[in-house]
A and B are shown apart, each in its own frame.
Chain A
Amino acid sequence: MSARLTRRFEALARAGRAGLVTFVTAGDPDYETGLEIVRALPQAGADVIELGMPFTDPMADGPAIQEAGCRALDAGMTLARVLDLAAAFRAGDADTPVVLMGYINPILAMGLETFTARAAAAGVDGLIVVDMPPEEDAPLRRAASAQGLHLIRLATPTTDDDRLVRVLDGASGFLYYVSVAGVTGSKSAAGADIDAAVARLRRQTDLPIAVGFGIRTAEQAGAVARSADAAVVGSAIVNVVKAHLGRPDLVDAVSRFVADLSAGVRAARKEHS
């Protein structure tokens, strides 16, 4: 398995802090700008990069990420170009883990073996495929595993203890906890609910736990970072992209926002201890 993710979470644990996972849609608003944004993320404080693979029908995404996908597709992004972008990023950054997130249909169109081989060659470390529950993901898991890619599973507030066993069987990299029942960019979960959920997950797994959905501000990211191993922010970053479309300060604006989130995450446990 790709060691970058494991190394990164080990380093975070040694540093005594949670990580910041930043999601952007690959190639939003276009390939060149998208690549600039991704290249700026580690410097701004992102510990792990999630790259969205645009899809016409993202059924688990709210308006912000739907629109980002449309912008990227309109600008000519394809799954092959997403892999190009990942490779271009990796050429300049050997350490920051990259996880691709999206839906299965474009992957099936490329072919599971071709896709996983090309993703591994591009320096990708893991995959999150939203519409592949454990019941269906065996072929993808085999293909990913053969290329050393982590297949990251999702747990949600609706995942009960019995089902959690199934979700964790074959989970790898980290466990992504979707903190609210809803689509991306929806309302936020209460801090106490997240703490309780993370505690429940920890009783059943040693995998690092990243918490996402509904985290918009440095304060919210900090609250999550007190108990979880990482906070995931997506729609809020994508909204910054949207607010600065066509402006020369787009990449800077994203960097500033990510730096703010990162400060919130880094301060969390100091405040707490």
Chain B
Amino acid sequence: MTDAPANSFTQGPDERGHFADYGGRYVAETLMPLILEVERAYEAATRDPAFQAEFDDLLTHYVGRPSPLYFAERLTEHLGGAKIYFKRDEVNFTGAHKINNVVGQILLARRMGKTRIIAETGAGQHGVATATVAARFGLSCTVFMGAVDMARQRSNVHRMTLLGADIRPVHSGNATLKDAMNEALRHWVAEVDDTFYVIGTVAGPHPYPAMVRDFQSVIGREVREQILDREGRLPDSLVACIGGGSNAMGLFHPFLDEPTVRCRAVEAAGRGVDTGEHAASLTRGRPGVLHGNKTYLLQDADGQIIEPYSISAGLDYPGVGPEHAWLRDQGRVEYVHATDQAALDAFQLCARTEGILPALEPAHALAHVAEWAPTLPADHLMVMNLCGRGDKDMDTVVEALGLTAGEAKR
């Protein structure tokens, strides 16, 4: 790829895994042969109709796809602007979009003859999905999770344990998602023979960003069909939250070459992007290298990684997928942000208007919808990816809102 403005936004990455200067394979030599093997195996799988058929079959009968495209009528009335649809990926089996990618990668691991699965997890949704599909295929599963995240997502820790996964608490750094990924990579280096690393987002060394995007693009492909069916035309805008960026990429990618479709991804602004306590790597970061890829990172002047902060464990990451870094520079996707407080407000708004408790991650997307939709005309079609359900966040939300049992906040 060149630095010139792209004619197409869907052709990347190049054969070395680069989206212009982003992406790549910045890993220790011990991992390189393995990364190259994953790439060869994935390329072969994409050419094998049997692989695609098995993937589709599991998404239909195990995951429950397609997920509904739902007209959020009361929210639309309440906000008084754009017509808002939710892509209901929170009704997937295991409660989030994460399982789409996990099914694909575990099928790939099986093709490669790997018997052990490892994964990192932040909010626990990717860990639960991985433990689930690993159990389904009788594979041993080890999940690395920051100790802080284990405390704030206890129900997901219990779920993984019941699914037979071995959970390794990670205490280094801030003991959150970044540190879990460091530890998973370290473990993988030592267990290269029988182990497959299921990365949960569109980051990491090539081919992961492209592979995870491809598996998640089922979201956007379904939206395209469903909205054409419902409305007879493409949406005017797409909105998704973004930490590493897998649900956003999955929604956006099939629309990137449709110039009339605006795409907005919402980063976690934590206590505010000017407070130093946020996870908005595209808003406040600079390009650098972490976890095997070059992308926007929260880092200090010396190139040391800054610990991110967000109320949402799934967005609490100092980097972002390299394709997003490229789309930002190209101006094809707009990257905005929402604070903890805005996400909590949106969480309650969604609960009261639609009867849906969203995860705190898509609550960030909702916060932006609540801000943007009222400024748009009624014939503007907006699709937001409701990529996870909020059950896992009950403790966090109840505590943040200062609620006690039986008490409703006015």
Name A's B-contacting residues (CB within 8 A): 55-62, 66, 73, 78-80, 103-110, 130-133, 135-136, 153-160, 163, 167, 178, 180-183, 186
Contacts and interface: CB of A to CB of B under 8 A. Distances in A.
Nearest to A166: B32
A154 B31 CA distance: 12
A108 B186 contact: no
A104 B30 contact: no
Interface stretch (B56-64, B301-309, B365-373): B301-309
B28 A57 contact: no
Interface stretch (B66-74, B126-134, B291-299): B291-299
B159 to A, nearest CB: 28
B242 to A, nearest CB: 21
Contacts of A66: 172
B299 A109 contact: yes
Contact of B26 (A56, A109, A131, A157): A131
Interface in B127-186: 172-173, 178, 182, 185-186
5 contacts: A56-B305, A60-B28, A108-B303, A136-B25, A136-B26
* SS class, residues of chain A in contact with chain B: loop
B289 A105 contact: yes
Contacts of B33: 158-160, 163
B190 A78 contact: no
For chain B, which range describes its interface: under 10, 10 to 19, 20 to 34, or 35 or more residues? Answer: 35 or more
Contacts of A55: 303-304
Given A59-B186, A156-B30, A178-B30, 17 more contacts: A56-B173, A57-B182, A60-B30, A103-B289, A104-B289, A105-B297, A105-B303, A105-B304, A109-B288, A135-B16, A136-B24, A156-B28, A158-B31, A158-B34, A159-B32, A181-B30, A181-B192
A29 B175 CA distance: 23
Given A135-B32, A182-B189, A183-B189, A108 B289 contact: yes
B26 A133 contact: yes
A54 B287 CA distance: 19
* SS class, residues of chain B in contact with chain A: mixed
B27 to A, nearest CB: 6
B29 interface: yes
Given A59-B182, A182-B190, A186-B190, A163 B289 contact: no
B302 A109 contact: yes
Contact of A60 (B189, B297, B301): B189
B290 interface: yes
Contact of B290 (A57, A60, A79, A180): A57
Contacts of A157: 30
A109 B285 CA distance: 12
A155 B299 CA distance: 30
A156 B30 CA distance: 6
B23 to A, nearest CB: 10
A131 B27 CA distance: 5
Q: Which 5 pairs from chain A and chain B are nearest by CB?
A: A109-B303, A106-B303, A182-B190, A78-B302, A60-B28
B388 to A, nearest CB: 26
A106 B304 contact: yes
Contacts of A105: 288-290, 297, 299, 303-305
